[in-house]
Chain A
Amino acid sequence: MTTGKRIGGSVANFVDERTGAGRALKKNLGKVFPDHWSFMLGEVAMYSFVILLLSGTFLTFFFVPSQEEIIYQGNYAPLSGLSMSQAYASTVDMSFDVRGGMLMRQVHHWSALIFLAAMVVHMMRVFFTGAYRKPREFNWIIGVGLLTLGIVEGFLGYSLPDDLLSGTGIRIAEAIIQAVPLVGTYVAFFLFGGGFPGTIFISRIYTIHVLLVPGIILALITAHVLLVWFQKHTQYPGPGRTEKNVVGFPLLPVYMAKAGGFFFIVFGITTFLGAVASINPIWLYGPYNPSQISAGSQPDWYMGWLDGLVRMAPNWETHAFGHTVSWNILIPGLIVPGIMFTGLALWPFIESWVTGDKREHHLLERPRNAPTRTAVGAMALTFTMVTLINGGNDLLAITFDLSINQIMWFSRIGVFVLPPIAYFVTKRICLGLQHKDRDTVLHGRESGRLVMLPSGEFIEVHEPIDQYARYSLTNHEQPEVVELQLEDAHGVARPGSVKEKIRARLSRGMYGEQVQKPTEKDLLELEDGHH
């Protein structure tokens, strides 16, 4: 036994005798995880969060979270002699006077964008494959919470430098708070320590940004990953993969190497972006002053949909009994986002209520095999895209020389018209793809080889697919419509309740139209031999 092994052994012994870690490790190090590129999306989000913690900690060493006004006399000449807050000045200083400071700021901002983008794309993967179904509803809700907190955290983060652009964003957030009936004005005065902007909000949102929200995010990520661990990861359907097993590679060594390596890859790419792609150059925006504004003011992309909603809102305001209700702010700023996020969180329960499906699901579904879900997702994404586009209507108008009023009207109408179109088109595409799958199973795949028959007719030769592919293409559920029961168990007529009627109707909408996948009979006929 070498010295190294002896020391390692005694350390392991010391730890195990005091913690019993050996038992847990033996059980878990060989844990199997299914492999698919789309399972990396959540990993990207988690690694970006780690990068945010690392780069963010560095930034706190140099950032001064204070609104005390000073006269800038640093190295960045164009700002010389201007009055600005310490927060702004220290951000400029760390960009120009700290070695690697600019890099770390840019890495931090880029990884925030990647964190949010990865969460959104991960969530789309989970949605479109039905991974949120029982028993994973908790994790879906945790995910919705993480997305919400991520958006808030990002917004607070880019507000910290107290530059003209972010100050404008905070002003808008304050106006939304102020618009809340009854308590809004009071909440705003408490948050800002008096009238806007006051002298204390930077230090307050600093604490929220570096301690409170990241702490909650960290706790939620821990719970999220632990649940994945205990419930075991879902897997795509295919030969050898069932609801009762999990097929993949063991944690040690393959996943340790792949996942660990992937962290470094994400970190490397983020650093590359931070090195070459300028982001949030606050020294160009200038310090915040409520009487100033720059044209083309845009929030970061994950707030863009909200800004787009606010821009397209009709200008309704109610004045009655000495009070004002700003529908033009409340509807786009609070009510619609509230509906969007509540609907997102409740979707697994809505779906399982309509389908009546209370079973556990560990096999994912291909989006085409759940046409209604896929169509609903496409509808929601289309809605969000229209609002996002409207959030950049001023830039679009300038870039493409369009009328801003026309873009606004396009969005105002499009936000109602386009999502249903997306629903309809997506559903047709899914059903079309189901047809194609059925065709492939029964008649094989197109070989691209044309043959001329003696009669002169040209046909394309179809090659039969192998048993594994054939199994994959037929291995999905085709649930039945939940029909309204108009007779009870004894055959006595009963009227369905309103709830039952709604459900039967939704169920018909969801499953009423399907492409029947090949049956055993079809396949037997096939084997008996025709062409």
Chain B
Amino acid sequence: MSDTHSGHESSGHQSSTALSPLADPGLPPHVYRRADTEPRAAKKAERQVAILFALSAVSTVAFVASFVGIEKDAFIFIPLFGSTQAQQLALGMTLALSLFLIGAGAVHWAKTLMPDHEVIQDRHELRSSDEDRQGVIEVFREGAEAAGLGRRSLIKRTLLGSMGLVTLTPILLLRDLGPLPGKQLETTNWEAGRRLVTDPDGKPLKASDIQVGAVAHILPEMPEGSELTLNDMVKDPVILVRLRPEDFNLPADRKDWVHEGIIAFSKICSHMGCAVGLYEQQTHHLLCPCHQSTFDVETGAQVIFGPAARPLPQLAITVDSEGYLIAKQGFTEPVGPSFWERSS
């Protein structure tokens, strides 16, 4: 530590930067703490530090006691906080105290009793000297010379070529992370004649089951023995809304996709695929809670606000011979968020 000098007599550095028009007065005079000058104050500080450490130990003992002594499923009521697991709270509070008091003790110790004279050390330029740089170049040159990199270009080229090729292997090895997309994003379980059933009860619905103004969460009825997986739940959910037939203002080719004022849309947002789960009964708007895209049911779920670019795909519905709601056909476009291969 030859370059270290204890603070206050040193003033040798003042002209090193000429930032100020004033001369650098050097470090201000040292202010001594009470514990530096009065042995009694020092003794008191020592006691305080020891007390903090001792309290930490006590808290750790309390931690052990709460671990073995408090029932896991005991709840206590704390005003403002509500009812909470007693053991978790006790463990947390005691551990927090144990840790905090160790820290507080150490910091108090450093601040009151450890030397607080500021020390000055020199900085050195980070840049290597010119000789060192030259030396490095020399070593590299000699090394390259000895290995014959310059002369044996065949070795150099084949080495680079083989290294380049071998880096391709991980890419190949990662190929089986997943299957190719194929048509998966464009297909759902909906097809002509498939019944609409409620989510989660799985009950088929008749038109009379839904009142004007009501909504229903719908899934396709699956044939006996096959169940919907979570992957189906990303594409199949449908939201059903019933308005008065005269409320609609639909494109001409979709007028008969509605049955007695009941209209069905994909529940998967055309923006980023969240479930469009909010329906405003007064305004006939469907709202996605994720990014607030708002769709107008009357006009066929056209986007009227927010970042979604496309209407929710509509599912054409009708009823079967028993009067249950069924799909007239599958979705005519992919449901959910956009992707590169999507053609409309």
Do the two shown chains form a genuine complex with each other?
yes
B-binding residues in A (CB < 8 A): 26-27, 30-32, 75, 96-97, 99-100, 102-103, 106-107, 135, 168, 171-172, 174-176, 178-186, 188-198, 230-232, 237, 239-240, 242-250, 253-254, 257-258, 260-269, 271-272, 274-276, 288-297, 307, 310-317, 319, 322-326, 328-329, 332, 360, 362-363, 393-394, 404-405, 408, 467-468, 470-471, 474-477, 518-520, 523
Q: B120 near A262 (CB under 8 angstroms)? A: no
CB-contact partner of A405 in B122, B181, B305, under 8 A: B305
Nearest B residue to A405 via CB reads B305
Chain A residues with CB under 8 A of B67: 99-100
Chain A residues with CB under 8 A of B95: 103, 271, 275
Given A171-B274, A185-B340, A189-B181, verify A245-B96 contact (CB < 8 Å).
no
Q: A291 near B233 (CB under 8 angstroms)? A: yes
Q: B21 near A239 (CB under 8 angstroms)? A: no
Stretch with Cβ within 8 A of A (4 or more), from B104-112, B155-163, B255-263: B104-112
In the A-B complex, list the 3 residue pairs whose CB atoms are closest, starting with the nearest.
Answer: A275-B92, A268-B100, A261-B106
Chain A residues with CB under 8 A of B299: none
Give complex CA distance A293, B269 in Å: 11
Q: B123 near A192 (CB under 8 angstroms)? A: no
Q: A470 near B22 (CB under 8 angstroms)? A: yes
B10: min CB distance to chain A, Å? 8
B54: min CB distance to chain A, Å? 15
Task: Answer whether residue B208 sits at the interface, using C-beta atoms and an 8 A cutoff.
Answer: no
Given A189-B180, A244-B122, A261-B104, verify A471-B88 contact (CB < 8 Å).
no
CB-contact partner of A254 in B26, B116, B181, B308, under 8 A: B116
Chain A residues with CB under 8 A of B1: 26-27, 30
B160-199 interface (Cβ within 8 A of A):
174, 177-181, 184-185, 199
CB-contact partner of A181 in B100, B293, B336, B340, under 8 A: B340
Q: B107 near A471 (CB under 8 angstroms)? A: no
CB-contact partner of A185 in B88, B89, B125, B185, under 8 A: B185
B91: min CB distance to chain A, Å? 5
Stretch with Cβ within 8 A of A (4 or more), from B11-19, B31-39, B146-154: B11-19
Chain B residues with CB under 8 A of A189: 178-181, 184
Task: Answer whether residue B273 sits at the interface, using C-beta atoms and an 8 A cutoff.
Answer: yes
B28: min CB distance to chain A, Å? 5
Chain B residues with CB under 8 A of A107: 92
Chain B residues with CB under 8 A of A232: 121, 123
B19: min CB distance to chain A, Å? 5
A-binding residues in B (CB < 8 A): 1, 4, 7, 13-14, 16-17, 19-28, 67, 72-73, 81, 85, 87-89, 91-93, 95-107, 109-111, 114-116, 118-123, 125-126, 174, 177-181, 184-185, 199, 217, 219, 230-231, 233-234, 236-237, 267-268, 271-278, 288-293, 303, 305-310, 336-344
CB-contact partner of B233 in A26, A289, A325, A523, under 8 A: A289
B299: min CB distance to chain A, Å? 15
Given A240-B27, A245-B122, A314-B307, verify A262-B274 contact (CB < 8 Å).
no
Q: B274 near A297 (CB under 8 angstroms)? A: yes
Chain B residues with CB under 8 A of A326: 309, 337-338
Give complex CA distance A27, B4 in Å: 11
B197: min CB distance to chain A, Å? 13
Chain A residues with CB under 8 A of B343: 319, 322-324
Nearest B residue to A261 via CB reads B106
The 15 listed contacts between A and B (C-beta, < 8 Å) are A175-B272, A175-B337, A178-B338, A195-B231, A245-B120, A265-B104, A268-B96, A271-B96, A276-B93, A288-B230, A291-B217, A291-B267, A311-B306, A319-B342, A393-B292
Q: B338 near A243 (CB under 8 angstroms)? A: no
Chain B residues with CB under 8 A of A316: 309
CB-contact partner of A275 in B91, B177, B217, under 8 A: B91
Chain B residues with CB under 8 A of A276: 81, 89, 92-93
Nearest B residue to A176 via CB reads B272
Q: A268 near B97 (CB under 8 angstroms)? A: yes
Chain A residues with CB under 8 A of B110: 253-254, 257-258, 261
Q: B109 near A257 (CB under 8 angstroms)? A: yes
Nearest B residue to A274 via CB reads B92
Chain A residues with CB under 8 A of B277: 292-293, 295
Nearest A residue to B82 via CB reads A278
Chain A residues with CB under 8 A of B109: 257, 261
Given A254-B116, A264-B99, verify A477-B19 contact (CB < 8 Å).
yes
CB-contact partner of B338 in A188, A245, A329, A394, under 8 A: A329
CB-contact partner of A245 in B13, B126, B180, B268, under 8 A: B13
Q: A249 near B119 (CB under 8 angstroms)? A: yes
Q: A194 near B27 (CB under 8 angstroms)? A: no
Q: A297 near B340 (CB under 8 angstroms)? A: no
Given A261-B110, A295-B277, A315-B306, verify A290-B233 contact (CB < 8 Å).
yes
